[in-house]
Amino acid sequence: MQQVQYLTVEADHQGRRLDNFLIGRFNNLPKSLLYRIIRRGEVRVNKRRVKQDYRLQTGDNIRIPPLQIASSGPPVIPQKVLDTVKQGILYLDDHVVVVNKPSGLAVHSGSGLAYGLIEVMQRLFPDRKPQLVHRLDRETSGCLLLAFNMPALMELNRQFKEREISKVYLALLHGHLETSTTVDLPLSVATKQGERHVYPNLDQGGKPSRTDFERLVSVREATLVRAHPLTGRTHQIRVHAVAMGHALLGDKRYGERGDNLRMRHQYGLRRLFLHAESVSWVHPKSHETVVVRAPLDSELENVLLKLGTRHGDEKMKKILIKLKSGGKDVG
């Protein structure tokens, strides 16, 4: 039996039917169960009962009751995973926690996964019922924000909806990006072979999407950038990078296989080079601005070190020194 869950509707699900959203999110549960809990009013949207055909709005807060999932008991979470996540806590108080999510760990269970980061955090904080404020792709590492109580969750959801929360990512792009740039390109989502695939869509159905790319340094084969998504679409940074002609290195879905293999063999890059470097928000209790930064993991750090060493690029080495430490600012 799971705990009560609270899900925040992201912009990509704007206009989606509630039943279809839940079926996609809980695809390991019978559809009959999901329709039954909607019909009984056990699923609440913004604290209200709704029908199965309710059209979701960005920022909606969905309450999911404890769900009985066929299993032999609570998921077995390896101690190494618990330790890694615990050591990755970057900010912690009575209302909010920020964790440096490791690459390869999904944010929640489902789709054949017995556990995700939310289940790990609920195991680490059994009396505080942490809830996700936003999401990161499974392969993306870095800052992930969670709330410990409903007032904090609702306020942070509001800040996300109003685009008052800022997230900044580090990404390594294929090729030489000449200058900093902004990509303003509408995006749509399609499902292919059971997986969500995002593509540019200039027609009426495309949702406005904008990303600022700040060029930090280029070497012969790659460019390190800071990416600031001004909207929050699924895979936005990855698809906008492809639209520029500079796919993220290590991106198995949208990148070039040959480029990824070369980076793997020459520099040891075995994952998507996308890291949520920082997140900033106004604290729901103190009303102070909080900025939290997550250090790069050793794999990404070593890739940059090898790139800088091989090409004799001192600027890359200097930037790497600045990126090695995380931290937080409050005030």
Show the tokens assigned to 100: 């440096």
CA-to-CA distance for 329 and 248, rounded, in angstroms?
A: 29
Q: Which residues, at least 6 apart from 256, have a Cβ–Cβ distance to it below 8 Å?
A: 174, 247
Displacement of CA 128 from its chain's centroid (Å) = 22
Residue for token pair 């729901």: 284
Q: Please confirm, yes or no, whether 137 is among the known catalytic residues.
A: yes
Contact (CB, 8 A) for 34 and 20: no
Measured torsion, CA atoms of residues 322, 324, 328, 331, in degrees rounded to the nearest 10:
0
Q: Please tell me the distance from the alpha carbon of residue 161 to that of residue 10, in angstroms, as a whole number.
A: 8
Which one from 137, 203, 212, 297 is the annotated catalytic residue? 137
Nearest-10 Cα torsion for 231, 235, 241, 244:
-70
DSSP state of 208: P
What separation in angstroms does the CA of 253 have from each of 37, 43, 103, 238? Answer: 35, 34, 16, 9
For residue 121, CA distances in Å to 87, 138, 153, 292 come to: 12, 16, 15, 18
Strand extents, DSSP E, 18-108 = 44-45, 48-49, 61-64, 89-92, 96-101
The residue among 248, 260, 190, 253 whose CA lies nearest residue 223 is 248
Which residues are catalytic, by number?
137
